[in-house]
Amino acid sequence: MPLRKDFLWGGATAANQIEGAYLEDGKGLSNVDVIPYGKRRFTVMSGHDVSLVPNDPAGYPSHQAIDFYHTYKEDIALMAEMGFKAFRMSIAWSRIYPTGEEREPNEKGLAFYDAVFDELLKYGIEPCVTIDHFDCPLALVEKYGSWRSREMIDLYVKYATTLFKRYKEKVHIWMTFNEINVLMHLPFMGAGVSFKEGDNELEVQFQAAHHILVASALVTKVAHEINPKNQMGCMLAAGVTYPFSCNPEDALEAMKRAHDSYFFIDVQSRGAYPNYIVKQWERDGIHVKMEEGDAAILKANTVDYVSFSYYTSRVAQAVEVEKTSANIFGTVKNPYLKSSEWGWQIDPLGLRITMNEIWDRYQKPLFIVENGLGAVDIPEADGSINDDYRIDYMREHIREMVNAVDLDGVELMGYTMWGPIDLVSASTGEMKKRYGFIYVNKDDQGNGDAARSRKKSFYWYKRVIASNGTELD
C-alpha cells in the first residue's frame, strides 16, 4: 500500500466560510466580515475601496455562511460517517480576541472550539488547525493597518499562545497562515491589508510579508516549547508554473513567477530570505524594515512540514497575453487542459509535478490541505445529487498524488480536500460554487433551509478512505 497507514484523509474548511454567527458570543468583526458579496467584492479583496463598516446592500457571505457554529455536531457526524481521519479547520481570531487587544481571551470563543475538537476526537478525527485563514480582527485593521504594522507580531503571538496552551491536549497539527502568498494578490482578503493614495503598494505588501513571516517563526518556537508534539506547518497556494513554450524567455518567466510564491516558503522552511528576492528588492527600490534579531528568529524556527493547496497549474509567457483565472492568480490559458465552470483549469498530473517540485526544494513532509472542484450541483427530482464530475476530478488528482508517493518517493502526511461540505466561496462569495460531498440547501441570496444531504461523491470518498487510496473507481 503506497500511502502510510496513518495517512490523514479528510477535508478542509475555514472559519469565515462555514461558521456564520459572526457576532455571536462576543465575537468581534474581522476583515472578512466587511468583504461584500457581488460587484465590489474583488476590489475590496484587493485592498481598494475598503469600507470598515458593513453596510453594502449586497450583503456579506461570512455573516451567516453555513451556520456551522450551530450545526457542527451534525456536520462532524457526517464526516465521521465518511471515515475522516483529519479535519482541517481554522479558528476565527476575533472569536478569541474580539479586537485583538484584550488582556484576557473571550471564554465563549475558546469554549466553542473546545466543543468542536471534543466532537472530532470522539470519532477519532484529528483536528488540523489553521491559526489564521484570511482572518484578522477588524479593530486591528482600523488601528494599525493590519500587517503593515509590526505591532501585529506580538498580538498574533499572544493569540496563538492562547491556543497552544488551551488546546495542548487536543491539537497537535497547526498551520500558521493560510495561503501565505495570497497577500501578494488579494492583500485585504489574505491579510487585512488595504491601500491609501500614494502608497508604494508592493513595498507595503513586502513589509507586511516580513511581519507575517517573523510572527510565523515566533509562534513556531512557542508551539514547540509548549508541546514538543506540536507539528508546525506553513501553507502555500501552490501549483507548478509551466513555461508556455520551450522558448527560454518563457522558461525564465516561469521561474520568476514561481519565485513570487516560493520566497515565502523558502523563508519558512529554509530560514532565510532567498537571494533572488533580496536582489529584486534592490532593483525595485523596495525597502523592507527589519529589526536586529529577525534573521536569527527566522533561521532558528523553521517549519516541520510544508502544506499547500493545489487546484490547478499555471502557465507563464514572456509576452503579455490574455489570462484566465486560477485560484486567485491570473494565468495564461493552457491549451492542453479543460477548465471548470469558473475557468480554473484541471490538471491532475500537475499535482504530481507540484508535489515533486516542493519535495525536491524542501525535503520536508508534505501535506495537501486543499484540492477540489467548485461546481454547480443540480439536485434530481428525488433530491439526490449525482456529481460524477466531482468524483472524476478527485479520482484523477488522488491517482496522481498516489503516483507521486509510490513512483517518485515523495513523503506525504495526508490529504484534506477542500470543502467536504458546501461552503461559501472565498473568491466569489457564492454558495453555488460547491465543493462538498455534503450538500447544503442554500443559495447565493441566502434562501433555503440549509439542510444537509449526501451527494454521490460522499459514498465514493468513503470507499477511497476505507481502502487507503487503493480503490478509486
Q: Would you tell me which residues interact with ligand BGP (CB under 6 A)?
A: 14, 17, 178-179, 237, 309, 327-328, 370, 374, 418, 425-428, 433
Cα–Cα–Cα angle for 94, 100, 102, rounded to 5 degrees: 110
Residue (307 or 309) nearer to ligand BGP, CB: 309
**Lookup: cell for 236:** 502555500
Contact status, residue 141 vs residue 151, Cβ threshold 8 Å: no
Output 105 or 187, the one with its CB closest to ligand BGP.
187
- CB nearer ligand BGP, residue 15 or residue 402: 15
Give yes or no: 203 in active site. Answer: no
Judge whether 340 and 432 are in contact, CB under 8 Å. Answer: no
End-to-end CA distance of the chain: 16
Closest distance between ligand BGP and the C-beta of residue 206, in Å? 21
Give long-range contacts, CB 8 A cutoff, 24+ apart: 320-327: 325/427, 326/239, 327/237, 327/239, 327/427
Q: Report the residue number, 243 or 419, with the smaller CB distance to ligand BGP.
A: 419
Find the length of the chain. 473
- Name which of 282, 287, 291 is nearest 204 in CA terms: 287
Q: Which of 119, 253, 357, 370 is catalytic?
A: 370
User: What is the identity of the amino acid at 254?
Assistant: A
Of the candidates 415, 419, 387, which has an alpha carbon nearest to the alpha carbon of residue 400? 415
Rg (C-alpha) for the chain, rounded Å, is: 21
Closest CB to ligand BGP among residues 189, 222 = 189
Which one is catalytic: 179, 253, 357, 400?
179
Contact 50, 188 (CB under 8 A): yes
Q: Residue 465 Cβ, how far from ligand BGP at the closest point, in Å?
A: 21
In the complex, least distance from residue 369 CB atom to ligand BGP, rounded to whole angstroms: 9
Residue 105 makes CB contacts below 8 A (sequence gap 6+) with: 96, 97, 162, 166
Our CB check for ligand BGP shows the closer of 75 and 370 to be 370
Q: How far is the CB of 265 from ligand BGP (least distance, A)?
A: 15
Q: Report strand pairing: 366-370 vs 305-310.
A: parallel
Q: How far is C-alpha 119 from the geometric centre of its chain's CA atoms?
A: 23
Q: Distance between CA atoms of 434 and 437, rounded to whole angstroms? A: 9
Give 3 or 180: the residue with its C-beta nearer to ligand BGP: 180
Strand, helix or coil at 444? coil
Least gap, CB of 342 to ligand BGP (angstroms): 7
Looking at this protein, which amino acid is placed at residue 261? S
322 in catalytic set: no
* Least separation in angstroms between CB 329 and ligand BGP: 10
Q: How far is the CB of 67 from ligand BGP (least distance, A)?
A: 17
Measured from the CB atom, the residue of 84 and 342 that comes closer to ligand BGP is 342
Q: Do 263 and 183 contact (CB within 8 A), yes or no?
A: no
Quote the crossing angle between the two packed helices 151-166 and 201-226, to the nearest 10°.
30
User: Minimum distance from CB of 432 to ligand BGP (Å)?
Assistant: 11
Active centre residues (catalytic): 179, 370
